[in-house]
Amino acid sequence: MARVGALELLVRTGFLVKGLLYIGIGALALQVALRTGGRFTGARGALATLASAPYGRVVLLLAGSGLLDPDRLGRDWRPLSTRAGYVIRGAFHGALGWYALKLSQGLARSSDHAERAAAVEALQWPFGDWLLVLVGVCLAGFAAVELFEALRGRFEPNLQIDQMKREVGAWAVGVCRFGVGARAVVMILLGWAVAGAGLARDPSEVGTTESSLRTIAQQPAGTGRWLLAITAAGLIAYGFYEILHARFLRIRHVK
pLDDT of residue 84: 52
- The three-state secondary structure class of 127 is coil
Q: Quick one: average pLDDT of 90-110?
A: 52
Residue 30 to residue 9: CA distance in whole angstroms: 31
Looking at the chain, the number of H-run helices and the number of E-run strands are 10, 0
pLDDT of residue 237: 95
**Percent of residues, the chain, with pLDDT higher than 90:** 18
pLDDT digits (tens, 9 = 90+) for 166-189: 999 999 999 999 999 999 999 899
Burial class (CB in 10 A: 0-12, 13-18, 19+), 159: middle
Q: Quick one: average pLDDT of 69-97?
A: 51
pLDDT digits (tens, 9 = 90+) for 4-41: 466 677 778 778 878 888 888 888 889 988 888 887 77
8 A C-beta contact, residue 10 and residue 65: yes
For the chain, give every domain's residue range: 2-248
Task: Report long-range pairs for 42-48 (Cβ below 8 Å, ≥24 apart).
Answer: 42/112, 42/208, 42/209, 42/210, 43/96, 43/209, 44/96, 44/99, 44/110, 44/111, 44/112, 44/114, 45/110, 45/112, 45/210, 46/21, 47/21, 47/96, 47/99, 47/100, 47/103, 48/103, 48/110, 48/111
pLDDT of residue 180: 93
Q: Quick one: average pLDDT of 65-92?
A: 51
8 A C-beta contact, residue 101 and residue 65: yes
* Global confidence as pTM: 0.77
Residue predicted with more confidence, 128 or 247 = 247
**Residue 101 predicted with pLDDT over 80:** no
Residue 80 to residue 147: CA distance in whole angstroms: 16
**Residue 46 predicted with pLDDT over 90:** no
Give the chain's mean pLDDT: 75
8 A C-beta contact, residue 18 and residue 238: no
